[in-house]
């Protein structure tokens, strides 16, 4: 469409990747996508993109390759090997991995890509499906300043808060910290909710006043109705937050950072999953506290 804009290859067209890639198309970019589900490829084509039948085909002529897949193994699967990105993208290309994975995987990927002349940014996001659709994601970036500057116009078509946080892996580190804080803040609210109800307090009134003071948080604002209505339709699933608590626990272990409370919350998230609640919204940590308090079987 525009000869000045970089050509994009997009690998991974799931709940996040589909609307994000379409936002790039809307912004005028030429996007060639690949994923294993034909339905998603059709959707991309209908939105004005091009469907590629392999990673190799998708990335061959791309200036920028963007990946958005569930976890570290998938990133490794699409990056390495004879059919992977590193073997088939051209030297000089910029690989932007927007998946949420371990910082170490991002560091390793950047190192491996360097030997092929490929530059890498890790750029995980927060904001969920709604943020992806509305292009208001927060994007946490790790890598070189020059590459970040080059990618900024792209990021601006996808999100609102866009920050370079440090060297390779730093985006993942900040995303991991984000998931840590979110889980702990949910747990804080969950303990407070059970305590308040068991004490005979008007929960709605209490949460209103709590939200207005130093106890206020985005979690309390956005999840208040989940707590009040015991509505745990996701949202962000416990299964995914469990994966993320594993990432932050392992990464903290690697750098020698103590997570005395994060470790307990990771156990409670894992416990919810073991109890069959992995498909619920992460605000279902309330169920864990209720069970511990004898308020739910």
Report, as residue numbers or ranges, the catalytic residues: 175
Which of residues 56 and 188 has its CB atom nearest to a copy of itself in the complex?
188
User: In the complex, what is the shortest distance from the CB of residue 143 to a copy of itself, in angstroms, rounded to a whole number?
Assistant: 12
Contact 140, 163 (CB under 8 A): yes
User: In the complex, what is the shortest distance from the CB of residue 179 to a copy of itself, in angstroms, rounded to a whole number?
Assistant: 8
Structure tokens belonging to residue 102: 């371990």
Which of residues 70 and 167 has its CB atom nearest to a copy of itself in the complex?
167
d(CA 170, CA 55): 26
Sequence-ordered strand ranges (E) for 128-173 = 137-142, 159-166
User: In the complex, what is the shortest distance from the CB of residue 110 to a copy of itself, in angstroms, rounded to a whole number?
Assistant: 14
Scanning the structure block, which residue is given the tokens 């932007």? Answer: 96
User: In the complex, what is the shortest distance from the CB of residue 106 to a copy of itself, in angstroms, rounded to a whole number?
Assistant: 11
Which of residues 116 and 160 has its CB atom nearest to a copy of itself in the complex?
160
User: In the complex, what is the shortest distance from the CB of residue 105 to a copy of itself, in angstroms, rounded to a whole number?
Assistant: 14
d(CA 49, CA 42): 9
Contact 45, 53 (CB under 8 A): no
Instruction: Decide: residue 54, CB within 10 A, 0-12 exposed, 13-18 middle, 19+ buried.
Output: exposed
> 129-166 burial, b for 16+ CB within 10 Å, e for fewer?
eebbbebebbbbbbbbeebbebbeebbeebbeebebbe
Query: Rounded to a whole number, what is the distance in angstroms from the first to the last CA of the chain?
Result: 59
Instruction: Decide: residue 57, CB within 10 A, 0-12 exposed, 13-18 middle, 19+ buried.
Output: middle
d(CA 23, CA 132): 9
Contact 50, 68 (CB under 8 A): no
Which of residues 42 and 254 has its CB atom nearest to a copy of itself in the complex?
254
Which of residues 146 and 258 has its CB atom nearest to a copy of itself in the complex?
258
d(CA 227, CA 36): 38
Which of residues 11 and 174 has its CB atom nearest to a copy of itself in the complex?
174
CA atoms within 13 A on the CB side of 214: 0
User: In the complex, what is the shortest distance from the CB of residue 75 to a copy of itself, in angstroms, rounded to a whole number?
Assistant: 19
């Amino acid at each position: 469409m525009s000869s000045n804009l970089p050509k994009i290859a997009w690998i991974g067209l799931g709940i996040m990747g589909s609307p994000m890639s379409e936002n790039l198309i809307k912004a005028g970019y030429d996007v060639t996508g690949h994923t294993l589900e034909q339905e998603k490829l059709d959707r991309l084509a209908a939105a004005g993109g091009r469907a590629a039948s392999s990673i190799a085909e998708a990335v061959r002529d791309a200036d920028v390759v963007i990946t958005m897949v569930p976890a570290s193994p998938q990133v490794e699967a699409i990056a390495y090997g004879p059919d992977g990105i590193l073997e088939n993208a051209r030297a000089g290309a910029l690989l932007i991995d927007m998946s949420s994975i371990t910082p170490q995987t991002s560091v390793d990927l950047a190192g491996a890509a360097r030997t092929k002349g490929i530059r890498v940014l890790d750029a995980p996001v927060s904001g969920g499906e709604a943020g992806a659709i509305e292009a208001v994601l927060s994007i946490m970036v790790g890598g070189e300043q020059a590459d970040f500057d080059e990618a900024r116009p792209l990021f601006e078509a996808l999100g609102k808060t866009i920050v370079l946080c440090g060297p390779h892996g730093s985006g993942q580190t900040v995303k991991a910290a984000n998931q840590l804080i979110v889980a702990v803040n949910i747990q804080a609210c969950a303990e407070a909710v059970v305590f308040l109800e068991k004490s005979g307090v008007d929960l709605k009134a209490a949460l209103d006043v709590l939200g207005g003071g130093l106890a206020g948080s985005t979690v309390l604002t956005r999840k208040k109705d989940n707590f009040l209505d015991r509505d745990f339709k996701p949202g962000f699933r416990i299964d995914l937050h469990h994966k993320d608590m594993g990432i932050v626990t392992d990464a903290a272990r690697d750098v020698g950072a103590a997570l005395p409370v994060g470790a307990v919350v990771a156990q409670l998230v894992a416990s919810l999953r073991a109890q069959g609640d992995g498909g619920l919204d992460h605000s279902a940590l309330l169920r864990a506290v209720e069970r511990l308090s004898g308020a739910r079987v």
